[in-house]
C-alpha cells in the first residue's frame, strides 16, 4: 500500500468564502485506511512532555494541529512534521513525540483540514476526493502560519526551524525549502519527485525536480530503491539537479527498501533502513543548526 497519489486531477483551488468542509479537530487513534496496524508499531510515551491538540490560524480559519514539546525549558527548535495522505493520525503524532523527546517543539498541522478528513476515509476516497484538491500554495501558507503560531507561543525558536515529511509530506518538504528563507534544513522521506506520477496541474504547478536549483535550505532525501511510485530514473534526475545546483542537498537511497519503509505501523516497515534513516535525519538537522 502506497500513500503517494498522482497530482494531475486537481480541481479549482478552494476559496475561503466557498468552503463546504472544515475539519476542526484531529480525533484519536490511527487512520481508518491503515487498519489493522502492525505489531511493530512504535508508541512513544508522553511522560516529560507537553502534548496535545492546538489550533493554528491560517487564511481566515483555524486548522487543527498536534504539538509536542518538552514540559520545561525552551525556547526549543521547531520541527514541522508533514503528514502522509492519511492525515494527522496516531503515527504522525508519535513522530512529533519522538522529536519532543529530543528537545524539539514539534508540530503537525492538518494540511487537509479544508478538503476532508483523511483519517476517516478509505484509500479511494482519499486519492480521489481529498488529496488532489489540496493546493500547494495553501499548504505553503498553512506551514508559514504554523511557524508563526509556534513563534508567538514563546516556547519555540523560529531561527532554528526544520521540516520533515513522509510520502505526500516528503514532496512538501522539497517545496517548502524552495518557498521560505526561514527554514534551516529539511528531511524528505520518499516523497514524489515528479515525472509521470505527478504531472503539473493548476493546484500543483511544480514538482521537486523542477525546483532543485531553487532550494533555500539544505534538504536530505531518504528514498527507497524498491519504490514502484518513485522509480530510480526520477530519483537520478533529482540527484543530477541537486548536483548541478552546487548546493548541499542530496538524496540517499536504501536499495532493498520499499516505499513507506519508515512507517512502523504498516507492512512496508523495514526496521534496519528505518533506524538508519532516522539516525541520518537527526544528524542532518544537527549539522545544519536545527537542534
| Domain annotation covers residue 71 | yes
| Domain annotation covers residue 6 | no
Annotation marks residue 227 as catalytic? yes
Q: Which candidate in 3, 136, 167, 262 is catalytic?
A: 167
Question: Where residue 120 sits, what CATH number does that domain have?
Answer: 3.40.50.1820
pLDDT > 70: percent of the chain: 93
| Domain annotation covers residue 14 | no
Report the candidate in 191, 140, 138, 134 with the shortest Cα–Cα distance to residue 164: 191
Q: Tell me the whole-structure pTM to 2 decimals.
A: 0.93
In this structure, what are the phi and psi dihedrals at residue 43, rounded to the nearest 5 degrees?
-125, 115
| Domain annotation covers residue 102 | yes
Report d(CA 259, CA 77) in Å as an integer: 29
Mean pLDDT of 107-126: 97
**pLDDT confidence of residue 199:** 82
Annotation marks residue 167 as catalytic? yes
Mean pLDDT value across the chain? 93
| Domain annotation covers residue 108 | yes
- Determine contact, residues 235/193, Cβ cutoff 8 Å: yes
Report d(CA 85, CA 79) in Å as an integer: 19
Counting DSSP H helices and E strands in the chain, the numbers are 6, 8
**pLDDT confidence of residue 8:** 33
**pLDDT confidence of residue 195:** 84
Q: Which candidate in 7, 179, 259, 262 is catalytic?
A: 259
Give the bridge partners for 165, in sequence order: 82, 188
Per-residue pLDDT band for 13 (boundaries 50, 70, 90) equals very low
Mean pLDDT of 208-219: 97
Per-residue pLDDT band for 198 (boundaries 50, 70, 90) equals confident
Annotation marks residue 7 as catalytic? no
**pLDDT confidence of residue 71:** 98
The count of structural domains within the chain is 1
Residue partners of 95: CB distance under 8 A and separation at least 6: 81, 106, 108, 164, 166
Per-residue pLDDT band for 5 (boundaries 50, 70, 90) equals very low
Grid cell at residue 105: 517543539
The stretches of 111-213 forming alpha helices (DSSP H) are: 123-125, 136-152, 168-179
| Domain annotation covers residue 9 | no
Domain of residue 192 covers: 23-287
Q: 10 Å Cβ neighbour count for 60?
A: 8
Q: Which candidate in 4, 117, 227, 264 is catalytic?
A: 227
Q: What is the pLDDT of residues 167-184, one digit of tens each?
A: 999 999 999 999 999 999
| Domain annotation covers residue 78 | yes
Amino acid at each position: 500500500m502506497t500513500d503517494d497519489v498522482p497530482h494531475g486531477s486537481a480541481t479549482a483551488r478552494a476559496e475561503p468564502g466557498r468552503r463546504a468542509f472544515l475539519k476542526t479537530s484531529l480525533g484519536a487513534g490511527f487512520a481508518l485506511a491503515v487498519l489493522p496496524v502492525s505489531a511493530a508499531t512504535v508508541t512513544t510515551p508522553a511522560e516529560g512532555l507537553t502534548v496535545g491538540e492546538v489550533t493554528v490560524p491560517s487564511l481566515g480559519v483555524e486548522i487543527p494541529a498536534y504539538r509536542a514539546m518538552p514540559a520545561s525549558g525552551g525556547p526549543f527548535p521547531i520541527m514541522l512534521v508533514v503528514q502522509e495522505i492519511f492525515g494527522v493520525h496516531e503515527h504522525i503524532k508519535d513522530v512529533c513525540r519522538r522529536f519532543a523527546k529530543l528537545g524539539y517543539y514539534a508540530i503537525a498541522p492538518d494540511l487537509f483540514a479544508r478538503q476532508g478528513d483523511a483519517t476517516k476515509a478509505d484509500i479511494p476516497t482519499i486519492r480521489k476526493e481529498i488529496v488532489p484538491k489540496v493546493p500547494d500554495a495553501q499548504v505553503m501558507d498553512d506551514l508559514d502560519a504554523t511557524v508563526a503560531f509556534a513563534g508567538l507561543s514563546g516556547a519555540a525558536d523560529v531561527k532554528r526551524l526544520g521540516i520533515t515529511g513522509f510520502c505526500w509530506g516528503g514532496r512538501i518538504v522539497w517545496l517548502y525549502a524552495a518557498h521560505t528563507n526561514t527554514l534551516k534544513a529539511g528531511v524528505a522521506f520518499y516523497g514524489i519527485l515528479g515525472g509521470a506520477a505527478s504531472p503539473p496541474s493548476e493546484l500543483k504547478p511544480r514538482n521537486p525536480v523542477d525546483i532543485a536549483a531553487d532550494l533555500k535550505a539544505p534538504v536530505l532525501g531518504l528514498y527507497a530503491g524498491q519504490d514502484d511510485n518513485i522509480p530510480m530514473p526520477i530519483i537520478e534526475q533529482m540527484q543530477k539537479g541537486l548536483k548541478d545546483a552546487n548546493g548541499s542537498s542530496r538524496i540517499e537511497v536504501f536499495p532493498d527498501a520499499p516505499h513507506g519503509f519508515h512507517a512502523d505501523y504498516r507492512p512496508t516497515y523495514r526496521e534496519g533502513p528505518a533506524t538508519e534513516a532516522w539516525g541520518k535525519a537527526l544528524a542532518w538537522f544537527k549539522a545544519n543548526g536545527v537542534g
